[in-house]
Structure 1
């Protein structure tokens, strides 16, 4: 079993349907585990690593959307894409921060965008949700809220996060909804990350590098 002192953090962005899918699995765990919910700007993380998101690559974009919908249907999760994607998620992320990053706020925002298929790309689009969460509209765009979101994103980068969703268990990072079972296994049996082959992979040499 994981130590009670082991820090669990979940880095996510509302732009990510995979974050929505993993949230369905994490939410029931909150009664048993203390998980810090950390909204981050996925675009800034991609930029820091010099990468494109899957929705920015033709072909991969369409496949990803269909794969997400397939996974949702397989898992019995209601999912409806918002009017446009990718979209600017900053208003939704800032609303989450202004609401205290509570599970209730995270659930409400994911529900609005990914279950109800509503736009989450502006304060105006989110105004019914802002009222529902009883958040001061001015707080969503305040400098304190913006700074807190930047700090979240910077802390994610310092932790080594390169994508969302990412669940961190101590210093170990588990990226993606499809890594959820791997994360759960590591949570229950951390010694499995310490065997010789797992350790060898940390130092595996690079055989060839693609030229830019």
Structure 2
């Protein structure tokens, strides 16, 4: 049975939308939610996040709202964005990164629109998950999140959300159907044109 890694950060509303679909996969295949620091992934690849680019930021927010309505998923933005996701990510790690904890944190931030950028803001949720502040802020929790992020970068993750299985990666909420097709039929990625574009030569590069 194919095992799936799902890389995400609570800062990403597209991760929230993708989670609504991804979590249903666990009924048929082993699924491992992997919380990572999206900002560190961006730095590793020399990129800016969409919310860091004027114009793209506003478009991204409207686009994700439109997608949520198309998909029938309630979405309410938290008080500020971008926000510091580390407290929420550490809470998730401290709670074992279970499907239940991932679901609860996403619902808190993106379903209900609560702040998730401090231990104080997350205190009611942490209590409901049975996780105390000392565990969330422990060196072990911080190290585990850092290890997740470093392993994701080493594996080639360049954005969130990303589904990974059998050496293939599928980035973005809108890639879910593509991922499902490849999960059901490995031949989707094995046809000659799919293979050819994987080694397509670069014709021109912008100056660094």
Range of TM-score over shorter length: over 0.9
Match of 2:89 in 1: 93
1:53 aligns with 2:49: yes
> For residues 34-113 of structure 1, what are the structure 2 equivalents within 5 Å?
34-113=30-109
Equivalent of 1:200 in 189, 196, 202:
196
Alignment of 1:105-184 (within 5 A): 105-184=101-180
The one-character-per-residue Cα deviations of 1:152-204 (angstroms, maximum 9, x if unpaired) are 00110111000000000121000000000000000001112111111111110
Residue correspondences, number: 208
Shift of 1:49: 0.5
| Alpha-carbon offset, residue 211 of structure 1 | 1.2
- Identify the match of residue 5 of structure 2 among 6, 9, 15: 9
Shift of 1:208: 0.6
CA contact (8 A) 2:16 2:106 kept: yes
The yes-or-no answer on 1:33 pairing with 2:56 is no
Closer/same/farther in 2, CA of residues 39 and 122 from structure 1, 3 Å limit: same
Q: Which runs of 5+ in 1 are unaligned?
A: none
Question: In the TM superposition, what is the alpha-carbon distance from 1:7 to its structure 2 partner?
Answer: 2.7
| TM-score computed with the length of structure 1 as normaliser | 0.97
RMSD of aligned C-alpha atoms?
0.7
For structure 2, the 5+ residue unaligned runs are: none
Whether the 8 Å contact between 2:3 and 2:29 is mirrored in structure 1 is no
TM-score (norm 2): 0.99
